[in-house]
């Protein structure tokens, strides 16, 4: 199974925010630059994470992003499931629909494998994702200089 780029960016953003000290202010732009992704993409990700209650954004001087308590203790499985949506691994009902869809066992097997993937992530929390050596490495990421 392959995650969407959106989910990948969201997980990386949450990990970056999980290692940010409470008194530190980190902006969307800084998170985007440290992850070497376009600001516009990261802004969309942050907006979605705010709607989920995982990230809080403070405006104005001294503002920035902060991971909420929900974000810190969230299951990686829940977060991934929520960001990925209910899409199945295969598009049996696509255009044109698969001619095997009425008698195919592949769709069920792939759905079961997808659920097993999420279940494997369920026990892992965001806080656990950033334990050593990941957390210290995240703190060293700096924006790449522009040419």
Question: Angle at CA 79, nearest 5°, toward 74 and 82?
Answer: 140
18, 23, 24, 27 alpha-carbon torsion, rounded to 10°: 80
pTM of the full structure: 0.83
Each residue's pLDDT expressed in tens, for the chain with a length of 147 residues: 788 999 999 999 999 999 888 778 789 998 998 888 999 999 999 999 999 999 998 887 777 899 999 998 999 999 999 999 878 777 777 788 888 878 888 888 988 999 999 999 999 998 888 877 666 676 666 655 554
Is-contact 104 98, C-beta < 8 A?
yes
């Amino acid at each position: 199974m392959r995650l969407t780029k959106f989910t990948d960016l969201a997980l990386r953003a949450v990990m970056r925010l999980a290692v940010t000290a409470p008194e530190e202010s980190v902006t969307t732009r800084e998170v985007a630059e440290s992850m070497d992704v376009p600001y516009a993409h990261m802004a969309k990700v942050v907006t979605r994470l705010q709607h989920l209650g995982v990230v809080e954004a403070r405006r104005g001087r001294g503002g920035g992003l902060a991971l909420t308590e929900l974000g810190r203790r969230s299951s990686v499985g829940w977060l991934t499931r929520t960001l990925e949506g209910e899409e199945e691994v295969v598009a049996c009902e696509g255009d044109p629909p698969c001619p095997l869809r009425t008698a195919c066992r592949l769709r069920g097997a792939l759905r079961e494998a997808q659920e097993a993937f999420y279940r494997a992530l369920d026990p892992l929390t965001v806080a656990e994702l950033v334990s050593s050596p990941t957390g210290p490495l995240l703190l060293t990421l700096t924006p790449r200089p522009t040419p």
